[in-house]
């Protein structure tokens, strides 16, 4: 099986380890991974900030980069949701029916990583070994927009040596919300404080999620507090082979 | 939307500094949320019911004018009188004139969001008329010279102790305890006299049925029923979107509303009344149909979805933002997620430009909405309207967003941008970042910035392909 990696601009620029881990998992499971170099950003930040009408170039760029890919895998529930839920409507809005049909066909082949593993490959045990206490934050868009459901937790529970601890209010937003975190900074940090207190209550060593953007936010707070809990993207845990990460 | 803008961000920051408010809200919203979940779980086809409700309202909104004229005809045929009000001022003047010509100096009022929206109590006060709130929570808010902070639970921001103090002070009852039974008894004592004295009753309307001219009132205390049965003159005010085509539509709506609002199978008092009947109830009935921005909202093909709202407040209880700050921070008659999409549409985008941004777009609201309003979609749509129709977004922000978009629209510019960012590795790690204005400072006030890595993913990929690394 072949799949193209949709890395996301954040993953490409700030968190390359997530992409590296994703490639490792997929290749370990026999998937031939391709990385279309023309991809840049899905435009979610502009879209959510009220600049949706300027996004035509990014929608076209994404479509051109991935039109030939048999499957498109991304380690981000939020960016997957942008393409799946919003691209066809955006293209239609620009009056480009051909583009709309193209992105609709592409959207049907876009998978968030945990969905690709459990739904497309039918795998839950990806052969990882991670002997640590871990709690899982159910990122909003992965949970409510593309409905990953229990897939990430099933994958985590199949990891050897892991101890998965339930996070109280796991599906409550961490307060990131892209530009929300800066234009409503006080509100955002109050939500983050709640999330962090729940994470600390689990006494976990690691908090994981299907989105590095939520984790960037959570990590920013954890490090400010010197809380001693690390964030790791789901892919990093699933790629782990038991050596200290 | 610049960091820390006036409007919601600032008001929210003030509310966040009040720990008692946070405790009150958290306890109350969590309780209602739990009750709602239990009540919803009892219905086997809840999702199907939501589909039906969404469809009823969707159809209604696509031919609202027809249904309103039908309602007018039915109400008139049943002996009522229908008045049309373009805005809040017109509606308030109508009520004031009706009362004035009947020599009435006071009215008893059922809890009504629509009258809050148009500031009826205050407008009447200016004409020397007192409108007594009879819903317990609305009465508390009125006594405290406060504003409601929740659609269904107007005094949700206050604790029992705070209410005890207020009653003790206002009613001259220093020995009052915070026992709910005692508190209610004290309020009842005061209210009974007003019920028996008033010559005019004022209510809102949860629904109005076009085919029969029936007004539907849903409440839990029964005081609203006092308002619509005791005084000889009854005035009901409703937003034009509250009309329903058929009586049978209530079989859907009345199953959704109480469960979504308070987690009840049915509200204690559901009143259906049609026109006037000799010797039974009020001898005259006036229905005021209020526009106040609703036709403007209807003209927006995306935004009009907000007019499906049946005011259950479930989205408020589900919202992590609302749970932290309560309704006052929204500075608008309708708070919470639904308020953020209704208030700017009713009053105009210039009035509430920060409200569409008062959400992390987590989607918890849409999950519980009984009429399937896609609140996050509407929030994003209205953000776009703020950017295009108002000057709330500064030139600096517009330029920054456009430059970023230009960078992201071209692979070479994008990669150059990545390299440029790497040059900022060290400065961003320093304390300096925290002192910079704008988004970096807003982020760093409570969070560390991420470390910028030595290598981007695409550089790793290229190096691996050329055998440089594994």
Distance CA A130, CA A139 (A): 22
Q: Give the distance from residue A134's alpha carbon to the nearest chain B alpha carbon, in angstroms.
A: 21
Model confidence at B433, pLDDT cuts 50, 70, 90, reads low
Is A42 domain-assigned? yes
Whether A116 and A137 map to the same domain: the answer is: no
Chain B residues lying within 8 Å of A13, measured CB to CB:
418, 421, 456-457
Chain B residues lying within 8 Å of A48, measured CB to CB:
361, 380, 383
Distance CA B325, CA B21 (A): 8
Is A178 domain-assigned? yes
Q: Per-block average pLDDT, block size 10, for chain A (245 residues)?
A: 97 98 97 98 97 96 97 98 96 95 97 98 97 98 96 98 98 97 95 97 98 98 95 98 64
- Domains delineated in chain B: 1-42+311-393 (no CATH), 47-156+192-292 (3.40.50.10420), 424-470 (no CATH)
| Residues B104-155 pLDDT 10s | 999 999 999 999 999 999 999 999 999 999 999 999 999 999 999 999 999 9
Any B CB within 8 A of A242 CB: no
Distance CA B446, CA B457 (A): 28
Model confidence at B432, pLDDT cuts 50, 70, 90, reads low
Any B CB within 8 A of A181 CB: yes
Q: Among the three residues A120, A154, A186, which one is the final residue of a domain in this structure?
A: A120
Whether A96 and A146 map to the same domain: the answer is: no
User: For chain A, how many residues are written?
Assistant: 245
Mean pLDDT computed over every residue of chain B: 94
Any B CB within 8 A of A183 CB: yes
A&B contacts, CB < 8 Å: 191
What ipTM is given for this predicted complex?
Answer: 0.97
Model confidence at B41, pLDDT cuts 50, 70, 90, reads very high
For chain A positions 49-88, those within 8 Å of chain B (CB to CB) are 49-55, 57-58, 61
Is A70 domain-assigned? yes
Chain A residues lying within 8 Å of B409, measured CB to CB:
40, 57-58, 61
**C-alpha separations of A221 from A94, A211, B177 in Å:** 40, 16, 43
| Residues B44-96 pLDDT 10s | 999 999 999 999 999 999 999 999 999 999 999 999 999 999 999 999 999 99
Report CB contact under 8 Å: A43, B408: yes
Structure tokens at B125: 């006060």
Structure tokens at B136: 């317990």
| Domains identified in chain A, total number | 2
Distance CA A148, CA A18 (A): 18
Choose among A53, A57, A184: nearest Cβ to B9: A184
Structure tokens at B291: 């526009």
Structural domain containing residue A77: 2-120
Residue in B217, B243, B218 with CA at minimum distance from that of residue B308: B243
Q: Quick check: B427 pLDDT over 90?
A: no
Whether A67 and A93 map to the same domain: the answer is: yes
Q: Quick check: B3 pLDDT over 70?
A: no
**C-alpha separations of B36 from B30, B136, B308 in Å:** 10, 22, 20
Model confidence at B445, pLDDT cuts 50, 70, 90, reads confident
Q: What is the mean pLDDT of residues B344-366?
A: 97
Any B CB within 8 A of A12 CB: yes
Whether A166 and A191 map to the same domain: the answer is: yes
Choose among B325, B362, B438: nearest Cβ to A187: B325
Q: Give the distance from residue B219's alpha carbon to the nearest chain A alpha carbon, in angstroms.
A: 30
Model confidence at B434, pLDDT cuts 50, 70, 90, reads low
Model confidence at B440, pLDDT cuts 50, 70, 90, reads confident
Is A210 domain-assigned? yes
Whether A76 and A139 map to the same domain: the answer is: no
Choose among B401, B408, B439: nearest Cβ to A58: B408
A112 forms bridges with which residues in the sheet? A74
Q: Among the three residues A90, A120, A150, which one is the final residue of a domain in this structure?
A: A120
Q: Quick check: B435 pLDDT over 90?
A: no
Q: Which of A201-210, B17-26, B186-195 has the highest mean pLDDT?
A: A201-210
Whether A209 and A140 map to the same domain: the answer is: yes
Report CB contact under 8 Å: A179, B1: yes
Whether A105 and A35 map to the same domain: the answer is: yes
Q: Give the largest Cα separation in chain B, rounded.
A: 95
Q: B5: nearest CA in chain A?
A: A183
Q: What is the pLDDT of residue B2?
A: 61
Is A187 domain-assigned? yes
Q: Among the three residues A69, A91, A120, which one is the final residue of a domain in this structure?
A: A120
Is A8 domain-assigned? yes
Is A88 domain-assigned? yes
Q: What is the pLDDT of residue B79?
A: 98
Structure tokens at A97: 């029916």
Model confidence at B431, pLDDT cuts 50, 70, 90, reads low
Whether A150 and A46 map to the same domain: the answer is: no
- Kind and range of the H or E element at B132? strand B130-133
Whether A106 and A155 map to the same domain: the answer is: no
Is A245 domain-assigned? no
Choose among A19, A40, A187: nearest Cβ to B414: A40
Instruction: Write phi, then psi, for B274 (nearest 5 degrees).
Output: -130, 110
Whether A197 and A220 map to the same domain: the answer is: yes
Question: Any idea what the CATH number is for the domain that residue A70 is in?
Answer: 3.40.50
Whether A222 and A154 map to the same domain: the answer is: yes
Whether A19 and A94 map to the same domain: the answer is: yes
């Amino acid at each position: 099986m072949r799949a193209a990696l949709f890395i996301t601009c954040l993953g490409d620029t700030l968190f390359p380890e997530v992409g590296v881990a994703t490639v490792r998992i997929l290749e370990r499971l026999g998937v031939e991974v391709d990385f279309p170099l023309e991809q840049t950003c899905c435009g979610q930040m502009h879209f959510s900030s009220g600049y949706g009408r300027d996004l035509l170039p990014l929608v076209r760029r994404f479509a051109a980069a991935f039109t030939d890919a048999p499957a498109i895998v991304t380690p981000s529930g939020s960016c997957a949701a942008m393409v799946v839920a919003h691209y066809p409507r955006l293209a239609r809005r620009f009056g480009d029916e051909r583009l709309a049909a193209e992105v609709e066909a592409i959207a049907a082949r876009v998978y968030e990583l945990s969905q690709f593993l459990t739904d497309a490959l039918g795998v839950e045990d990806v052969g990882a070994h991670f002997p640590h206490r871990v709690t899982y934050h159910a990122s909003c868009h992965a949970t409510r927009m593309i409905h990953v459901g229990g897939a990430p937790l099933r994958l985590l529970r199949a990891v050897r040596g892991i101890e998965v601890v339930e996070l109280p209010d796991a599906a409550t937003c961490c307060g990131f919300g892209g530009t929300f975190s800066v234009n409503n900074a006080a509100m955002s940090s109050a939500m983050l404080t709640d999330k962090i207190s729940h994470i600390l209550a689990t006494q976990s060593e690691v908090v994981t999620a299907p989105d590095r953007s939520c984790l960037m936010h959570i990590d920013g707070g954890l490090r400010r507090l010197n809380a001693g809990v690390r964030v790791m993207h789901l892919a990093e845990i699933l790629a782990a082979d038991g050596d200290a990460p | 939307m610049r960091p820390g803008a006036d409007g919601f961000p600032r008001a929210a920051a003030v509310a966040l500094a009040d720990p008692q408010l946070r405790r009150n809200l958290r306890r109350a919203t969590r309780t209602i949320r739990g009750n709602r979940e239990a009540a919803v779980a009892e219905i086997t086809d809840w999702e199907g019911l939501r589909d039906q409700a969404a469809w009823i309202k969707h159809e209604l909104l696509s031919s609202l004018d027809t249904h309103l004229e039908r309602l007018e005809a039915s109400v008139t045929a049943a002996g009522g009188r229908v008045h049309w009000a373009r805005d809040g001022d017109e509606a308030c003047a109508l009520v004031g004139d009706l009362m004035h010509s009947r020599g009435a100096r006071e009215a008893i009022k059922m809890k009504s969001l629509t009258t809050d929206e148009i500031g009826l109590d205050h407008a009447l006060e200016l004409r020397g008329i007192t409108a007594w709130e009879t819903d317990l929570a609305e009465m508390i808010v009125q006594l405290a010279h406060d504003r409601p902070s929740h659609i269904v639970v107007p005094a949700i921001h206050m604790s029992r102790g705070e209410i005890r103090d207020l009653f003790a002070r206002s009613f001259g009852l220093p020995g009052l305890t915070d026992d709910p039974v005692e508190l209610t008894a004290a309020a009842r004592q005061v209210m009974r006299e007003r019920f028996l004295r008033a010559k005019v009753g004022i209510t809102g309307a949860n629904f109005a049925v076009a085919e029969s001219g029936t007004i539907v009132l849903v409440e839990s205390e029964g005081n609203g029923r006092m308002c619509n049965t005791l005084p000889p003159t009854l005035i009901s005010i409703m937003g034009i979107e509250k009309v329903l085509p058929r009586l049978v539509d209530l079989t859907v709506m009345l199953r959704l509303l109480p469960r979504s609002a308070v987690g009840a199978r049915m509200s204690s008092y559901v009143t259906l009344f049609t026109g006037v009947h000799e010797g039974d109830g009020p001898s005259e009935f006036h229905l005021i149909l209020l526009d106040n921005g609703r036709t403007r909202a209807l003209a927006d093909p995306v935004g009009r979805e907000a007019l499906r709202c049946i005011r259950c407040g479930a989205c408020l209880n589900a919202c992590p933002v609302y749970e932290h700050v309560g309704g006052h921070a929204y500075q608008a008659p309708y708070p919470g997620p639904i308020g953020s999409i209704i208030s700017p549409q009713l009053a105009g985008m210039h009035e509430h430009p920060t409200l569409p941004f008062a959400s992390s777009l987590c989607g918890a609201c849409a999950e519980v909405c009984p009429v399937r309003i896609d609140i996050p979609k509407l929030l994003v749509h209205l953000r776009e309207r703020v950017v295009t129709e108002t000057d709330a977004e500064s030139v600096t922000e517009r330029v920054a967003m456009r430059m970023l978009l230009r960078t992201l629209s071209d692979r070479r510019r994008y990669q150059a941008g990545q390299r440029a960012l790497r040059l900022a590795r060290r400065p961003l790690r320093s304390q300096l970042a925290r002192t910079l204005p704008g988004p970096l400072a807003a982020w760093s006030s409570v969070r560390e910035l991420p470390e910028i890595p030595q290598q981007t993913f695409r550089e790793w990929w290229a190096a691996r392909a050329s055998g440089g690394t594994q």
